[in-house]
Amino acid sequence: MIRSHYRALRHIAFGMTALGLSAAASSAERPSVTAPAGTFEGVTEGSANVFRGISYAEAPTGERRWRPPVPKARASAPVDASEFGPICNQPEFPNVPANIYYEDLPPMSEDCLSLNVWQPENADHAPVFVWIHGGSLLTGAGRFSLYDGAELAKRGVVVVSINYRLGALGFMAHPDLSSETPYNVSGNYGLLDQIEALRWVERNIAAFGGDPDDVTIFGESAGAHAVTTLLAVPAANGLFARAISQSPAGALSRSQELAAEFAAKFASILCADEREPARLLLAARPAQLVNAFDRLLTTSASDLAGGYPVGCTFGTDYLPSEPIQAMRDGKAYRVPLIVGTNADEGRLFTRFLKLLPTNEAKIEALLAGAEPTCRERITAAYPEYPAPDACIRLGADFTFGSTLWQLADSHSRHAPTYLYRYDFAPRTLQWAGLGATHATELLAVFDAYRTPLGRLLSAGADRRSALRVSDDMQGRWDAFARTGVPGDGWPRYTSDARPVLVFDRASRVDNDPHADRRKAWEGFQVLGR
């Protein structure tokens, strides 16, 4: 039943995986690139050369588990880069949450720190996109079908997708692990992996025709959160020139105190002997760690006020302060930023993902610790509350909208910022009751509407609109990567007018379209953060 449920989600509701985005290799002569990291032999697919499974760091295994990544040594012999590498360890069928990023999972390994490169024809000092995948910091991989970079590469940009450590292996911040390190700090390993991948790009991408001084990082959901977090990481300064954050998820940053609390709960689930948790954590098999973390998620799912058990830990040398606060204080990296959400973010989470407070019981638990006036202000912004549709909008705004508004107001004080809302949904998604829900903008960004299943999703009268929205969104992402300005007719965000570009059948600019909802969340803070 579980497997059937996921397959239905993938193939019928969304069509977001197994899209057939990759064409068969069209040339018997394999492309080869010699870079500082070594010589890599890829494949030609359509008009792009593709190099898969390139290791950017040594295997984070053994004594390197729960340590910062170590740069991969230069390969002494040519590397076969025709196949994707293993994905990072993750639940195959997570109890909480199910997720749209799911595929029939390929082999997993702790030795998963690899990246993939799509090289356009005749690339020379081309802009570079680096994709950071979503999946709640728990699941996903740069190799997943939806993230195929071939269509973006047709626009003359080099596209890179990366893997980074997930779950406990990527973000465990346990005091006993901290004592084992020379920095006396633990956690943020997945974040450090992202930085190491960017360093690899800086050193090597010129050999693939990319411009290391013209790198744009972009990501969705947890990947979007990673994008905005990297703006606040001192070690990432200078590794990218622009950033795009698509539906950044809130509640994925936590204090050292909260991180340690979750780590202690995790260790108690995993380790019967609490006297030596560090030794037992280091000795555990990856599957044991994944299963224990899945149990932690299950037991923590109802504790909305306590935050999410996996995330980036701030208050360390790696991440000195919470990212939005760093932006507010002018301490974040001042690069041009695109940030946005989807019109119906929350609808996905009513059926397939159970992370958001999208019903009355969860919302009341969320607001239980708030000041009475704060609770009244928030619920009043959703006049039909506690009707189901109002609950869905409220839960989505808590997770995505409130984060978006804070990011925009904070970053725009110091750097060019552009806001969007993605409203387009073909009738198939409307009839399914999903609308422009979480992650559906990826169909446009990666041009999936031109795939066979994309054509099925946008059949009939929707076809022309789907292609127009895809061309518009891709064109603006491309323009932004080249100039820092996302094309004509998209005003820079200010806290006065608050213009938002709405992607839809007929795109438009609205000023502060949800002013009442935005104001309602001002000053709200999740307990335990």
Please report which confidence band the pLDDT of residue 468 belongs to, taking 50, 70 and 90 as the band edges.
very high
**Distances in whole angstroms, Cα of residue 522 to Cα of each of 228, 389, 401, 404, 409:** 19, 22, 11, 12, 11
Supply the pLDDT for residue 280.
83
Q: How confident is the model at residue 308 (pLDDT cuts 50, 70, 90)?
A: confident
Summarised one tens digit per residue, pLDDT across range 198-250 is: 999 999 999 999 999 999 999 999 999 999 999 999 999 999 999 999 999 88
Give the residue carrying structure tokens 């997708």.
161
pLDDT exceeds 80 at position 4: no
Rounded to the nearest 10 degrees, how much is the dihedral formed by the CA atoms of 22, 505, 437, 151? Answer: 20
**pLDDT value at residue 28:** 55
Between 370 and 58, residue with greater pLDDT: 58
The answer, yes or no, to whether residue 264 has pLDDT greater than 90, is no
Radius of gyration of the chain, Cα coordinates, nearest whole angstrom: 22
Highest mean pLDDT among 114-128, 249-263, 275-289: 114-128
CATH of 2-24+37-94+109-520, one of 3.40.50.720, 3.40.50.80, 3.30.1330.10, 3.40.50.1820: 3.40.50.1820
Q: Which residues are catalytic?
A: 221, 345, 438
Please count the other Cβ atoms lying within 10 Å of the Cβ belonging to residue 374.
Answer: 17
**Which amino acid type is present at position 31?**
P
Q: What is the arithmetic mean of pLDDT over 151-171?
A: 96
Given a cut of 50, whether residue 320 has pLDDT beyond it is yes
- For residue range 18-74, list pLDDT tens digits in order: 343 443 344 458 999 999 999 999 999 999 999 999 999 999 999 899 999 999 999
277: confidence class by pLDDT, cuts 50, 70, 90 = confident
Alpha carbon of 433 to those of 268, 351, 437: distances in Å?
A: 41, 10, 9
Distant-in-sequence, close-in-space partners of 478: CB < 8 Å, separation ≥ 6 = 127, 152, 155, 156, 157
**pLDDT-based confidence at residue 366 (cuts at 50, 70, 90):** confident
Sheet strand arrangement including 79-80: 32-35, 38-41, 79-80
- The pLDDT, as a whole number, for residue 11 is 38
Phi and psi, residue 33, nearest 5°: -130, 130
Q: Is the pLDDT of residue 127 over 70?
A: yes
Percent of the chain with pLDDT over 70: 88
Q: What long-range pairs does 200-203 form, CB within 8 A, spacing at least 24?
A: 200/37, 200/56, 200/57, 200/71, 200/72, 200/115, 201/115, 201/128, 201/130, 201/160, 201/239, 202/239, 203/35, 203/36, 203/37
Which is more confident, 295 or 115? Answer: 115
Q: How does the average pLDDT of the chain come out, rounded?
A: 88
pTM of the model: 0.92
**Distant-in-sequence contacts of 383-388, Cβ < 8 A, 24+ apart:** 385/360, 386/360, 388/350, 388/359
